[in-house]
Chain A
Amino acid sequence: MTAITDLGIAGLRDGFRAGDFSAREIADAFNGAVAGAKALNAFIIETPDHAIAAAEAADRARAAGELLPLSGVPLGIKDLFCTAGYQTTAASRMLGGFTPTYESTVTAKLFAAGAGMLGKLNLDQFAMGSSNETSAFGNVVSPWRRNDGGNAALAPGGSSGGSSSAIAARIVPAATGTDTGGSIRQPAAFTGIAGIKPTYGRCSRFGIVAFASSLDQAGAMAQDVRDSAILLEAMSGFDPKDSTSLDVAVPQWEANLSSDLKGKKVGIPKEYRVDNMPPEIDALWKQGIEWLRDAGAEIVDVSLPHTRYALPTYYIIAPAEASSNLARYDGVRYGLRDLPEGANLQEMYAATRAAGFGPEVKRRILIGTYVLSAGFYDAYYTKAQKVRALIARDFEEAFRQVDVLLTPTAPSAAFALGEKSADPLEMYLNDVFTVPASLAGVPAMSVPAGLDGQGLPLGLQIIGRPLDEQGVLNAGLAIEQRAGFTAKPQNWWAK
């Protein structure tokens, strides 16, 4: 019999409904798995009590015949979502010990749908990073190891690295993520799981610690496409507390899943063929094209001419917004305060922010402050906004010809911890395929598609039209069914 912890959302939900096991059994199994996987450092705090309380409620609901969509399903929650009564840190010393009195809209929806919370997942500090090495609580380790006999600890991707690592290690069935420039998709690709960033505005940003407001979007990370659809459905929906939230109905993505792509057109953007692309990734991309053709889709070559400007544009806009969004962490009202003896207000700000923010956060605040400053604003920020509009137009035009786009998710498999952390530019380049969809605000997902020569997972990215998460999920499902990705990391972490 399959272990409970091997099951994803759909398996748990359906097994629970069928009476195969109780919600309490599910919660206990995952709480145990979480407690036994400290070596991954995937959690900042564990919240077994929350998972148990939700499980007991689910068991009562089942007895009463009042099941909710996620009754019996425990989740990991990225520690960027504010959770009432549970510490929320954004993986920063700045918010060490900060416990919100309020609940983010996304977690409120998930809990209202019956889900429990196993813990708050580690991440890159303030979601800034692609390897989880910027967390103030230590880096998350990927459960995957290269098959070269070496024991190099690998990056789980970032910023949602706690989420990706925990799902890949099967210590949580699914988790929330957030994606600003690839923070769901790249870690999903690195760890052999599925992850979807929906259309900007699908999920409320209320109660999510802000990084870059015009790009931040919550999304779902799970073992497979179906689970991603279930979770995203529960997270999405209009929220009057977020002005940028979209006032549109949430479709029944799970019920409408279909891998039949007859009549659909899939675009292959030539600009994503970058120099130095590892041949294995190029080969996987070609394989993906064949899979989609096999699913009935017509393959069309398309052009997104401004793709090469996406990364520099992103690294102007995101830090600009971050420099302003993070100004509230000043030591005055909550979180860390470093008040040296006799210090004045300015000195308190300086000491608090010097002590509270990690180096990558400081780097981005400095970049953002610079590009917004008088004399540079037009050259950087204004120009970046113009280029962003051009990038969005590239997608609009491509989507006049095709229904979805297929690209690799990342230009490499997981790298070793420490391998890129010395060179920020090298690290930023890892976002090259994920950033354009973020700038355009369109939905995109990564699905696991194969392993490289070192036995590490590789992902393919599907990008869709605004609000067409269904098209993205369906194409993802078509790949998933054909890729038959069943590889799992060897368990080296459990005590």
Chain B
Amino acid sequence: MSSYRIQGATGEWEVVIGLEVHAQVVSNAKLFSGASAAFGAQPNQSVSLVDAAMPGMLPVPNEECIRQAVKTGMALGAEINRWSRFDRKNYFYADLPQGYQISQLYHPLVGEGTITIDADEKAGIAEARTIGVERLHVEQDAGKLMHDQHPTRSYVDLNRSGVALMEIVSKPDMRSPSEAGAYLRKLRSILRYVGSCDGNMEEGSMRADVNVSVRKPGDPFGTRTETKNVNSIRFVMAAIESEANRQVDVIEGGGTIVQETRLYDPDRNETRSMRSKEDAHDYRYFPDPDLLPLELSEEFVAQCRAELPELPDAKRARYEGELGLPAYNAAVLTSDVETARWFEALLDATGKPGAEVARAASNWLISDLFGALNRLGKAIDESPVSPKQGAELLALVADGTLSGTLAKQVFEIMLETGDDPAKIVEERGLKQTSDTGAIEAVIAEVMAANADKVAEYRGGKDKLFGFFVGQTMKAMGGKANPGVVNELLKKALG
């Protein structure tokens, strides 16, 4: 259990958090129409007659969206309901052309599952925790209103109207903002692995409704509030903290928490009441009579399972087990599907995809490549160096052509020019030398120029050995094989 507590005037308070995540399904078309679901079209360019709710138009489920949701459910280890049904959620708003949203209240597509969040000492998560997922269902997104286009009118953009969303509802299992953050990161990671949602919170393809309540440790759950539509992990964590503190203040001030919907204002870092339970909508949910129950064939479910990729937890275990990577490396490489993909392409390109080169490859990726990408402000899928080039570089180190220092130099040039490492080594003569004759000659020069230090070393000042290594390497332009240098120096210095 989390040790996160809010210190109130009356003692410690525990925070109870549940998250409802809306994740936009990756699909060419909307949930019930053939219109494009791509982001970034001109307003009202991706709107079919169905999306605009013209008279007589009917929804037809898009199998691809259902497939994505089923695969996501499987990735959460959840039960897939072979029989589910769509319901209408009725309310009026200008961005909701039908006057109802097609959703799944009574019989969701996916039942209970879990998400494991990892231990993170820095974030106060002492050990890995399993967070329950209550359900996953599919539903339509609404359009959006634009209030800044005209002095007295609001404009409506229906491009998002009808786009498929997965609503993934957690159990109230989280106990700190960090756990909520870790849950969201892990969920996003899983969605990206499955390829069912791009997880891009800035573009709104993943948003969270945050349920928060507080209680004295050991007490039953308190009354919760729901903060709607928070659109970054950082804001989710900040909203929880601010809302939990507000609730503690209210309760300790003698008030009671009202079950209500709130909004988070990131500029002021506070939540504000949107509407209370009393004036909550009566959505008049009922089964959508335009749609038959969604019945999944055994074949369809099996196909979804077969299409499911290796997921982050399994991959991580394999990296640690089969590849023998340190836990840290395995965790870093698997947290994001693009990184894992890049790493596996790198391993493949070495021609020896296995434990043999995995550790060196993982270290290089995590320190050198990540360092460079950070500096360049690029994501891994935008890396100027390809996995194949990375593998070639690692091979040059492994066969002694390049020292570690030389490899770093070559990598810098690769980043700049995009050239293959072999070409750079060839053209710039950066090859490491193990030519003992040449190295011995340089050592002799170094010892002659530093006769006093040679005497001191031989007089017992062992630490000076490093000095001689440095001088020799320097004189050789860094191209000498450090192992050979060490060996020959020991011999020469006696």
Is there an interface contact between B292 and A244, defined as CB atoms closer than 8 Å? yes
- Which of A205, A241, A330, A372 is close to B284, meaning CB atoms less than 8 Å apart? A372
Cβ-closest chain A residue relative to B100: A324
Pick the interface stretch among B3-11, B46-54, B379-387. Answer: B46-54
Is there an interface contact between B284 and A369, defined as CB atoms closer than 8 Å? yes
Interface size classification for chain B = 20 to 34
Interface size classification for chain A = 35 or more
Q: Say yes or no for B370: interface residue by CB 8 A criterion.
A: no
Q: Determine how close the nearest CB of chain B comes to the CB of A473; give it in whole angstroms.
A: 27
Residues on A with C-beta less than 8 A from B292 are 243-244
Q: Say yes or no for B56: interface residue by CB 8 A criterion.
A: yes
Residues on B with C-beta less than 8 A from A213 are 288-290
Q: Say yes or no for B83: interface residue by CB 8 A criterion.
A: no
Q: Can you report 20 residue pairs joining A to B where beta carbons are below 8 Å apart?
A: A95-B55, A100-B54, A102-B49, A207-B57, A240-B60, A242-B58, A242-B60, A243-B60, A243-B291, A244-B290, A324-B286, A328-B55, A332-B97, A333-B52, A334-B54, A345-B94, A346-B92, A349-B92, A372-B286, A374-B284
- Which of B49, B88, B156, B289 is close to A332, meaning CB atoms less than 8 Å apart? B156
Q: Determine how close the nearest CB of chain B comes to the CB of A113; give it in whole angstroms.
A: 20
Is there an interface contact between A82 and B99, defined as CB atoms closer than 8 Å? no
Residues on B with C-beta less than 8 A from A240 are 60
Q: Determine how close the nearest CB of chain B comes to the CB of A258; give it in whole angstroms.
A: 34
Q: Say yes or no for B404: interface residue by CB 8 A criterion.
A: no
Q: Say yes or no for B227: interface residue by CB 8 A criterion.
A: no
Q: Say yes or no for B59: interface residue by CB 8 A criterion.
A: yes
Q: Determine how close the nearest CB of chain A comes to the CB of B283; give it in whole angstroms.
A: 8
Is there an interface contact between B156 and A373, defined as CB atoms closer than 8 Å? no
16 extra interchain contacts, Cβ-Cβ under 8 A, other than A213-B288, A330-B94? A101-B49, A102-B49, A102-B56, A205-B290, A209-B56, A240-B60, A242-B60, A243-B58, A243-B61, A324-B90, A324-B286, A327-B98, A330-B99, A332-B156, A372-B285, A374-B284
Q: Say yes or no for A320: interface residue by CB 8 A criterion.
A: yes
Residues on A with C-beta less than 8 A from B88 are 324
Q: Say yes or no for B426: interface residue by CB 8 A criterion.
A: no
- Which of A206, A208, A328, A372 is close to B99, meaning CB atoms less than 8 Å apart? A328
Q: Determine how close the nearest CB of chain A comes to the CB of B48; give it in whole angstroms.
A: 10
Inter-chain CA distance A361–B93, complex, in Å, is 21
Residues on B with C-beta less than 8 A from A206 are 56-58
Is there an interface contact between B55 and A333, defined as CB atoms closer than 8 Å? no
- Which of A241, A332, A369, A372 is close to B94, meaning CB atoms less than 8 Å apart? A332
Q: Say yes or no for B282: interface residue by CB 8 A criterion.
A: yes
Q: Determine how close the nearest CB of chain A comes to the CB of B374; give it in whole angstroms.
A: 47
* Given A333-B97, A372-B284; A243-B290 close (CB under 8 Å): yes
Interface residues as binary, A186-207 with B (CB distance below 8 Å gives 1, 0 otherwise): 0000000000000000000111
Residues on A with C-beta less than 8 A from B97 are 328, 332-333
Interface residues as binary, B339-383 with A (CB distance below 8 Å gives 1, 0 otherwise): 000000000000000000000000000000000000000000000
Residues on B with C-beta less than 8 A from A324 are 88, 90, 99-100, 284, 286
Is there an interface contact between A372 and B90, defined as CB atoms closer than 8 Å? yes
Q: Say yes or no for A214: interface residue by CB 8 A criterion.
A: yes
Is there an interface contact between B289 and A321, defined as CB atoms closer than 8 Å? yes
Q: Determine how close the nearest CB of chain B comes to the CB of A349; give it in whole angstroms.
A: 6
Inter-chain CA distance A421–B110, complex, in Å, is 49
Residues on A with C-beta less than 8 A from B285 are 372, 377
In A70-114, the 8 Å CB interface with B consists of 81-82, 88, 90, 95, 98, 100-102, 104
Interface residues as binary, B84-117 with A (CB distance below 8 Å gives 1, 0 otherwise): 0000101011100111100000000000000000
Is there an interface contact between A327 and B90, defined as CB atoms closer than 8 Å? yes
What are the 7 A-B residue pairs with the smallest beta carbon separation, nearest first? A327-B99, A213-B289, A372-B284, A214-B289, A207-B56, A328-B53, A209-B55
Q: Determine how close the nearest CB of chain B comes to the CB of A477; give it in whole angstroms.
A: 33
In A202-245, the 8 Å CB interface with B consists of 205-210, 212-214, 240-244
Is there an interface contact between A374 and B56, defined as CB atoms closer than 8 Å? no
* Given A102-B49, A332-B94, A369-B284; A82-B58 close (CB under 8 Å): no
Residues on A with C-beta less than 8 A from B291 are 243-244
Residues on B with C-beta less than 8 A from A81 are 56
Q: B interface, by DSSP: helix, strand, loop or mixed? A: loop
* Given A324-B284, A377-B286, A381-B286; A330-B56 close (CB under 8 Å): no
Inter-chain CA distance A213–B57, complex, in Å, is 11
Inter-chain CA distance A104–B93, complex, in Å, is 27
Is there an interface contact between B52 and A100, defined as CB atoms closer than 8 Å? no
Inter-chain CA distance A402–B94, complex, in Å, is 52
Inter-chain CA distance A214–B290, complex, in Å, is 7
Most A-side CB within 10 Å, residue of B56, B57, B285, B288: B56
Inter-chain CA distance A333–B281, complex, in Å, is 23
Is there an interface contact between B284 and A373, defined as CB atoms closer than 8 Å? yes
Cβ-closest chain A residue relative to B99: A327
In B406-457, the 8 Å CB interface with A consists of none
Is there an interface contact between B54 and A330, defined as CB atoms closer than 8 Å? no
Most B-side CB within 10 Å, residue of A210, A327, A372, A373: A327
Is there an interface contact between A98 and B55, defined as CB atoms closer than 8 Å? yes
Inter-chain CA distance A381–B49, complex, in Å, is 30
Is there an interface contact between A212 and B289, defined as CB atoms closer than 8 Å? yes
Residues on B with C-beta less than 8 A from A346 are 92
Is there an interface contact between B55 and A100, defined as CB atoms closer than 8 Å? yes
Residues on B with C-beta less than 8 A from A369 are 284
Cβ-closest chain B residue relative to A368: B284
Inter-chain CA distance A149–B94, complex, in Å, is 55
Q: Determine how close the nearest CB of chain B comes to the CB of A53; give it in whole angstroms.
A: 23
Residues on B with C-beta less than 8 A from A321 are 289
Q: Determine how close the nearest CB of chain B comes to the CB of A312; give it in whole angstroms.
A: 17
Is there an interface contact between B60 and A104, defined as CB atoms closer than 8 Å? no
Q: Determine how close the nearest CB of chain B comes to the CB of A385; give it in whole angstroms.
A: 8
Inter-chain CA distance A206–B50, complex, in Å, is 10
In A347-361, the 8 Å CB interface with B consists of 349
In A304-334, the 8 Å CB interface with B consists of 320-321, 323-324, 326-328, 330, 332-334
Cβ-closest chain B residue relative to A82: B56
Is there an interface contact between B55 and A88, defined as CB atoms closer than 8 Å? yes
Residues on B with C-beta less than 8 A from A244 are 290-292
Is there an interface contact between B54 and A102, defined as CB atoms closer than 8 Å? yes
Residues on B with C-beta less than 8 A from A209 are 55-56
Residues on A with C-beta less than 8 A from B284 are 323-324, 369, 372-374, 377
Residues on B with C-beta less than 8 A from A349 are 92
Residues on A with C-beta less than 8 A from B99 are 324, 326-328, 330
Residues on B with C-beta less than 8 A from A328 are 53, 55, 97-99
Is there an interface contact between A327 and B94, defined as CB atoms closer than 8 Å? no
Residues on B with C-beta less than 8 A from A98 are 55
Inter-chain CA distance A98–B61, complex, in Å, is 27
- Which of A208, A345, A381 is close to B56, meaning CB atoms less than 8 Å apart? A208
Q: Determine how close the nearest CB of chain A comes to the CB of B203; give it in whole angstroms.
A: 25
Cβ-closest chain B residue relative to A332: B94
Cβ-closest chain A residue relative to B93: A345
Q: Determine how close the nearest CB of chain B comes to the CB of A6; give it in whole angstroms.
A: 34
Is there an interface contact between A205 and B289, defined as CB atoms closer than 8 Å? no
Inter-chain CA distance A90–B55, complex, in Å, is 10
- Which of B54, B58, B282, B288 is close to A373, meaning CB atoms less than 8 Å apart? B282
Q: Determine how close the nearest CB of chain B comes to the CB of A66; give it in whole angstroms.
A: 31
Residues on B with C-beta less than 8 A from A214 are 289
Residues on A with C-beta less than 8 A from B286 are 320, 324, 372, 377, 381
Inter-chain CA distance A345–B291, complex, in Å, is 30
Residues on A with C-beta less than 8 A from B54 are 100, 102, 333-334
Q: Determine how close the nearest CB of chain B comes to the CB of A325; give it in whole angstroms.
A: 8
